[in-house]
Chains A and B, each alone.
Chain A
Amino acid sequence: MMKTETSTAPAPAAFEPRITAFVCNWCTYAGADLAGTSRLQYASNMRIIKLPCTGRIDPLFVLKAFENGADAVLVSGCHPGDCHYTSGNYHARRRWTLFRKLLALTGIGDDRLFFSWVSAAEGQKFADLVNDVTAKVRKAGPFCAVHPGRRAS
């Protein structure tokens, strides 16, 4: 059958990364809010999950995100010294330093797992960060091929 001009079959969609962001309530979430109220345009690939503090982000959350379809994970919170709870981000930092090496050994490297400090005043930094992370993950491609941490679909 000849293909007509009016075919409604959708074109194969380009890869759109799904990125899960775990952010703290007081700095990065407020930074993201500022990016929004400042009408900054940035990639729409990030799904933000707000938590009280980066210290609340259990490494299990990251594994759960990858398990359920995230192509990348971003963890972001207050700059050192700025934590609303004085030391939550310091606790988190030490945890991530170790955990990222463990994940790297199992094949989840720097192109899938991102960390940042974004303050409530850094709306522009947040927008740039999202764009940059999205571009990197787009380049890295979908996280699905064969990984033991992924839920079989």
Chain B
Amino acid sequence: MKALREAAEKLLREKRVSLVIGYEDRKGRPAFFAAKPEDCGRLAYDASCRQNLAAYLGKPEIRARLPVAVVAPPAVLRSIVVLTAESQLPPGQVLALAVDGDSFLGTFDAAGVAELLRAKYSTLAPEPALLERVQGLLQKSPAERAAFWEAEFSKCTRCYACRAACPGCYCSRCIVEKNAPQWISTAALGHGNYTWSVMRAFHQSGRCTLCGACEAACPQGLPLMLLNAVLDREALEEFGSRPGYDPEAKPLIGSWSADDDHSYMR
């Protein structure tokens, strides 16, 4: 914690960044934006920080204040690599203050982040408990699965906190806001809720780093990570896709190979 604060303070004092995006040292660990060196004493990090701060990097308010530094646990480091691969970060304008558990790992630029991930976190895998839940759901009948999601999606209030929390959701105009034609009903009712959550997850396929920020942000507690996890597993098994490691990676959907499996095609 002390090392993190000192590193952040140093960056601001040396004017290498104009803003440090981190977590505040108070209950709930909300996002905290340190603009002055003396603010850095309020920074903190521990396992209860579930927000993915890389989501702020696409916001115009933050873009206006580049260069910035972000407090980043491993999943957020991966998000930074995904955003780099998608040309969403101006080169050299984002630094990562890498943290993991109780330890502060140092300050890294985009290339350094990719290197750190390869060296230290190349075997990051989804939590076994999450995959077990996916497997458990897949073992049920289609009708039971539908009933499960019917009950879950009926709680959705369409606040779009899942979208706001996700660093991958940076479109300036989201499909759900397009109304000519309106593809996704905006009423907080059955089919609109279903289509929204399914498409939100699908738009993250091959890009999601399973940081869990969407599910943590959901005020209704929808199990959104089930959707993300099934796509992540499929992308890995079918295409060997591991988003967030290669800053030069081509987008999974948007590229193709003549050897892709199509055994399900008739």
Choice from A95, A105, A116 contacting B266 with Cβ under 8 Å: A116
Determine which residue in B142, B150, B190, B252 has the highest number of CB atoms from chain A within 10 A of its CB, and name it. Answer: B142
Stretch among B6-14, B85-93, B224-232 lining the A interface: B224-232
13 contacts across the A-B interface (CB closer than 8 A): A63-B194, A91-B254, A94-B252, A98-B234, A105-B145, A106-B194, A107-B147, A115-B264, A117-B262, A148-B146, A149-B194, A149-B195, A149-B198
Choice from A87, A105, A148 contacting B134 with Cβ under 8 Å: A105
Chain A residues near B138 (CB-CB < 8 A): 104-105
Give bound CA distance, A115 to B263, whole Å: 10
Choice from B193, B231, B254, B261 contacting A148 with Cβ under 8 Å: B193
Chain B residues near A107 (CB-CB < 8 A): 142-149
Chain A residues near B137 (CB-CB < 8 A): 105
- Asked if B1 is at the interface of the complex by the 8 Å CB criterion, the answer is no
Determine which residue in A64, A98, A112, A145 has the highest number of CB atoms from chain B within 10 A of its CB, and name it. Answer: A98
Asked if residues A91 and B195 are in contact (CB atoms below 8 Å), the reply is no
Give bound CA distance, A90 to B202, whole Å: 18
Beyond A93-B262, A107-B149, 16 extra complex contacts between A and B, CB < 8 Å: A63-B198, A80-B262, A90-B257, A90-B260, A97-B239, A98-B202, A98-B234, A101-B231, A104-B138, A106-B194, A106-B227, A107-B142, A146-B143, A148-B146, A148-B154, A149-B190
Shortest beta-carbon distance, A55 to chain B, in Å?
10
Choice from B190, B198, B199, B260 contacting A152 with Cβ under 8 Å: B190
Choice from B193, B260, B264 contacting A100 with Cβ under 8 Å: B264
- Asked if B153 is at the interface of the complex by the 8 Å CB criterion, the answer is yes
- Asked if A109 is at the interface of the complex by the 8 Å CB criterion, the answer is yes
Asked if residues B199 and A63 are in contact (CB atoms below 8 Å), the reply is yes
Residues of B within 8 A of A (CB): 134, 137-138, 142-150, 153-154, 175, 183-184, 189-191, 193-195, 198-199, 201-202, 205-206, 226-227, 230-231, 234-235, 238-239, 252-258, 260-262, 264-266
Chain B residues near A152 (CB-CB < 8 A): 189-191
- Asked if A40 is at the interface of the complex by the 8 Å CB criterion, the answer is no
Kindly state the interface size class of chain A when it binds its partner. Answer: 35 or more
Asked if residues B231 and A150 are in contact (CB atoms below 8 Å), the reply is no
- Asked if A60 is at the interface of the complex by the 8 Å CB criterion, the answer is yes
Asked if residues B198 and A67 are in contact (CB atoms below 8 Å), the reply is no
Identity of the chain B residue whose Cβ is nearest the Cβ of A110 in the assembled complex: B264
Shortest beta-carbon distance, B119 to chain A, in Å?
29
* Binary B-proximity of A74-94 (CB < 8 A = 1, otherwise 0): 000000110000010011011
- Asked if A42 is at the interface of the complex by the 8 Å CB criterion, the answer is no
Asked if residues A97 and B261 are in contact (CB atoms below 8 Å), the reply is yes
- Given the known interface contacts A63-B198, A101-B234, A146-B143, the answer about A151 and B265 at a Cβ–Cβ threshold of 8 Å is no
Shortest beta-carbon distance, B200 to chain A, in Å?
11
Chain A residues near B154 (CB-CB < 8 A): 148
Asked if residues B260 and A145 are in contact (CB atoms below 8 Å), the reply is no
Chain B residues near A96 (CB-CB < 8 A): 264
Give bound CA distance, A109 to B141, whole Å: 10
Chain B residues near A59 (CB-CB < 8 A): 199, 202
Chain B residues near A135 (CB-CB < 8 A): none
Shortest beta-carbon distance, B44 to chain A, in Å?
36
Give bound CA distance, A114 to B256, whole Å: 21
